[in-house]
Each structure stands twice: as C-alpha cells, then as structure tokens.
Structure 1
Amino acid sequence: MATQAFEDIVEDFEFIEDWEDRYRYVIEQGKDMPVLEEALRVPATKVDGCASQVWLHPKIEAGVFSFEGASDAMIVSGLIAVLRKLYNGLPVADVLSVDARAEMERLGLNEHLSSQRSNGLRAMIERIRLVASEAV
C-alpha cells in the first residue's frame, strides 16, 4: 500500500533508466522538501543509526500521519522526501501495514545504497513505525 505521491515516484523511476539520473532525482526530491525548523532539530527528533545527521518530526492530526525531516546529507534528505511521499497523509493505523522495504525495492534503492545508507533508511522507517504504533 502506497500513497499516490509515492506511486508518482515509481512511475518517474520507470522512465529514468540510468541509476545516476535516479540518484539525482532522489536528491532533487530532498531539495524540494520544506525546511525543518532549527528548533525541531533536537535530540528527541534525531534518528540514531544513521551515518549522517537525521531528524524526523512526526505529527498526527485527526488520525492522519505525517512528518517533516531533515539531514545534513543530500542523498539522505532525498530518502526522507521519498519516505514522506510514502507515508504522509495515511491514516495512522495504516502506517504499520506499509511494507516500506518492499516499496523502496520497487525503486531499486536497496541495491544501490551503501550499507550505511541502508542502515540509516532502516532506522528512519523503524522510527516512523514506532511513532505510529504508539499512536494506535
């Protein structure tokens, strides 16, 4: 189960054959993401397990999940943007039914990320799932 915004990324990836171009596309997604306020870049929102600095600020309003995020690394910012498109706007109860690894595999990201980036992506997904599970 994925949002339409994520399905749009999947469609775009079908037309982008070169992995370097896909990498640039992910980076552009991060550049287009809203800036996370400095006041929200605190230890409570920092994600452990990432090689770079990563902050995720989740929100649940009227039972709908969303989050903002930031990183000091361009590709990680892009991964945050992709995860936002995967999860933002879902009912909080549906967040736990998303198989994020399988969805990211549709983009071919798993085979093109370094082990550190993969670990960081896994840590971000786990944080999102934890927040959702505590809210259900």
Structure 2
Amino acid sequence: MSLPVEAAEALQTFQNAAGWEQRARLLMQFGDRLPPLSDADKCEANRVHGCESQVWLVGELRDGHWQFAASSDARMIRGLVALLLLRVNGLNAEELQQVDLPDWFNQLGLSRQLSPSRSNGLNAVLKRMNELAG
C-alpha cells in the first residue's frame, strides 16, 4: 500500500533526523501545526475513549476518501496524532482498515515514544476512525 504524499514526506523528514532528540522536536512541531478544532467539535461525542489524555476526533467522507481532524490536550499526543492523520487522511474505508499503526511509528523511528498507554490511546484513535468509516 503506497503512502499518502504528506505521510511519505513526513517519513523522509523523520528518517533524516539525527537522533532521538531531533525526532522528539519534530514530533512537537507536527503537533503544533495541527489545525485547532472548534470548541463545538471538542464535545463528548467526539472524544476518543481509551486515551489517558483527552483526544477529540472528527471525520468526514469526501468523494469516497476520509479526512480526519483531531486535537489533544497533551502536546506529545498531539504530535503522534498529527502523524497518524498524515498516514490516514485521503484513504478509503478499506485502506484505513489495513493501516499498521506499530509499523508506521516504527518506520518514523518513534517506537520508543510509544509507551503502552500512548500506544493504546493511538490504537483507540485508529479504532474510532474505522468505526466512523464503517
């Protein structure tokens, strides 16, 4: 399965990063660039359960392809979610189900950043995306 263009660019950026600190900085920058959700979107119905931090997710189907937007109150999670969005935005429902989350963060060199609770949280976000797409 080929990567969306923006995901491929992000992957290149992370793979060119010199070491862990630079990747951590990049992660924060990706999170900071995430467009903010409106207060109306930050409602209980859009909250992803299973995350220690608060994460909100909205999705919209455009011409058979999904576009998601998300936000989190935790900066590190915002960065991880931003990278997940790059990986999934523009996919159809079938492609979305084939996304391998551990593999994606492994390729980015961010596996170390995925504590079990963060990993569970991101899996909950991906699961919610699949529920919306289902």
The normalised TM-score by structure 1 is 0.90
Report matched runs for 1:87-98 at 5 Å.
Answer: 87-98=88-99
Q: 2:45 — aligned with what? A: 44
Distance in structure 2 (CA, Å) of the matches to 1:105 and 1:38: 33
**Residue 115 (structure 1) aligned with residue 124 (structure 2):** no
Say how many residue pairs are matched.
133
Whether the aligned pair in 1 keeps the contact of 2:49 and 2:124 (CA below 8 Å) is yes
Q: 1:76 — aligned with what? A: 77
Q: 1:103 — aligned with what? A: 104
Distance in structure 2 (CA, Å) of the matches to 1:122 and 1:90: 17
Distance in structure 2 (CA, Å) of the matches to 1:125 and 1:109: 17
1:115 positional shift: 2.0
Which amino acid in structure 2 is aligned with residue 4 of structure 1?
V
Whether the aligned pair in 2 keeps the contact of 1:46 and 1:54 (CA below 8 Å) is yes
Distance in structure 2 (CA, Å) of the matches to 1:86 and 1:18: 22
Distance in structure 1 (CA, Å) of the matches to 2:111 and 2:49: 20
Which amino acid in structure 2 is aligned with residue 114 of structure 1?
S
User: In percent, how many aligned pairs have the same letter?
Assistant: 35
CA offsets 1:75-112 (integer angstroms, 9 cap, x no match): 11111111111011123332122223212221122233
Q: 2:17 — aligned with what? A: 16
Which amino acid in structure 2 is aligned with residue 112 of structure 1?
Q
Which amino acid in structure 2 is aligned with residue 92 of structure 1?
A
Structure 2 unaligned blocks of 5 or more: none
Which amino acid in structure 2 is aligned with residue 32 of structure 1?
R
Structure 1 unaligned blocks of 5 or more: none
Distance in structure 1 (CA, Å) of the matches to 2:107 and 2:98: 17
The normalised TM-score by structure 2 is 0.91
Compute the RMSD of aligned alpha carbons: 1.3
Distance in structure 1 (CA, Å) of the matches to 2:72 and 2:21: 20
1:25 positional shift: 0.5
